Amino acid sequence: MDFELGFGTGTQKISVPDKNILAVLTPNEVERGLTGEAEVRRALCEPIGTGRLRDMIRPGEKIAVVTSDVTRPMPTYKVMPALLDELYAGGARPEDITLVFALGSHRAQTEAERRHLAGERAYREIKCIDSDPTDCVHMGVTSRGTPVDIFSPVANADRRICLGNIEYHYFAGYSGGAKAIMPGVSTRAAIQSNHSRMVEDTSCAGNLETNNLRADIEEAGDMCGVDFILNVVLDEHKEIIKAVAGDVKKAHRAGCEFLDKLYMKKIPERADIVVVSQGGAPKDLNLYQTQKALDNAKHAVKKGGTVILVGSCREGLGERVFERWISEATDAHSMIDRVMTRFELGGHKAAAIAMVLENAKVVLVSELPEDTVRSAFLTPARSAQEALDGALREYGEDATVIIMPYGGSTLPRAEGR
């Protein structure tokens, strides 16, 4: 069987003998109604847990709309026209609305990137800015000890609206909801405090109810105050197939339930070989982002098996501390020891890769130099086909293979787990 896996703005082609394929993890079939902007407008008309946004705001109020940066697939430009119409219907003026790109710990964006993300209409009508972790207001400390330090234009706004796409997150359970606030527009120290809980067993993809890290995120959101969210679920082609709006928790949970119906994938057993792609740009800009697909794939591979990770990584490793941890490590396991004794934001993803390497070999198909790949304790390959052929020789003609074309989204669950 032939496959094309997203790789940057292109694809990697791979051919797998039919007899070896255990499963192909593509999204489940779900009933689809409206899509795109029409679905966004429907959600705004039918909020969950709140009244309509137009009835909540008052003329003259300062409104902060917090959305994702360039490292996320959130199609802000598709959402903003409907949101602006709703805000204007409530009496908001363009000069009172600020669109804030939540950088978290990521790099600053170019003007061209901000314009593209916002869309021409929003970029023309309202202020569009990046968050700045050096310009924050202290709003308290969570019960778990995380400082709530929020970008001042968000903290000082009269109304806060959070946008985002909902997908699985390897330690926060799911993206979306209050994550736009923490870590989105928080300080590095606050993010480090929250993310240090990633080592807890309950901090894993698909878990909300017993996830202390997610609870800490939502407590920070409550302390800051989120008036309204507008979250979307995207299909494998990055099209909006579901939108939820309203209360920061109730609407978010409704979106997560839909995501599970779409992307939670049961498998009969784990495989010898898992071939996984993030699905292409922008999710595979660097190794720091591509790691998310690897973390989902770990749930599908046997102990002692191989994960073939397909991601362009054309911007390199992607994060300064992440790169430093890798360069300073004597072996992969040392990064796990390090994160257990002194959590450091950025280093946590290096440790997450090392945790996968405890049980499986990882072959990386990327645009990175081979020496860079080896420095991260991964095995380089020039193509997905080359990597698969090598793995089939290693595990034999009866080796089982699972294909995950959208690894950052699909979450495997082995039967009996």
Would residue 364 count as lying in a domain?
yes
Residue 25 CB contacts under 8 Å (≥ 6 apart), including other chains: 265, 267, 300, 402, 403, 404, 405, 406, 410, 412
Q: Which domain holds residue 157?
A: 36-234
Position 41 pLDDT exceeds 60: yes
Using DSSP bridges, classify how beta strands 136-141 and 147-151 pair: parallel, antiparallel or unpaired.
Answer: antiparallel
Q: Answer yes or no: do 170 and 229 share one domain.
A: yes
Cα distance between residue 138 and residue 414, in whole Å: 44
Q: Answer yes or no: do 209 and 279 share one domain.
A: no
The mean predicted confidence, pLDDT, of the chain is 95
Query: What's 350's domain CATH number?
Result: 3.90.226.30
Would residue 239 count as lying in a domain?
no
Query: What's 103's domain CATH number?
Result: 3.40.50.11440
Question: In this predicted model, what pLDDT tens digit does every residue of 312-335 receive, in sequence order?
Answer: 999 999 989 999 999 999 999 999
Position 90 pLDDT exceeds 60: yes
Question: In this predicted model, what pLDDT tens digit does every residue of 204-258 receive, in sequence order?
Answer: 889 999 999 999 999 999 999 999 999 999 987 889 999 999 999 999 999 999 9
pLDDT at residue 416, as a whole number: 57
Q: Which of 186, 211, 234 is the last residue of a domain?
A: 234
Q: Answer yes or no: do 203 and 59 share one domain.
A: yes
Q: Answer yes or no: do 130 and 228 share one domain.
A: yes
The count of structural domains within the chain is 2
Would residue 409 count as lying in a domain?
yes
Q: Let me know: does 230 contact 163? Beta carbons within 8 Å.
A: yes
Torsion of CA 208, 213, 215, 219, to 10 degrees: -150
Q: Answer yes or no: do 14 and 45 share one domain.
A: no
Q: Answer yes or no: do 7 and 49 share one domain.
A: no
Global pTM value: 0.82
pLDDT at residue 51, as a whole number: 98
Would residue 253 count as lying in a domain?
no
Tokens linked to 204: 């894993």
Distance of CA 118 to the CA centre of its chain: 19
Provide φ and ψ at 407, rounded to 5°.
-60, -30
Would residue 94 count as lying in a domain?
yes
Would residue 104 count as lying in a domain?
yes
Q: Answer yes or no: do 216 and 282 share one domain.
A: no
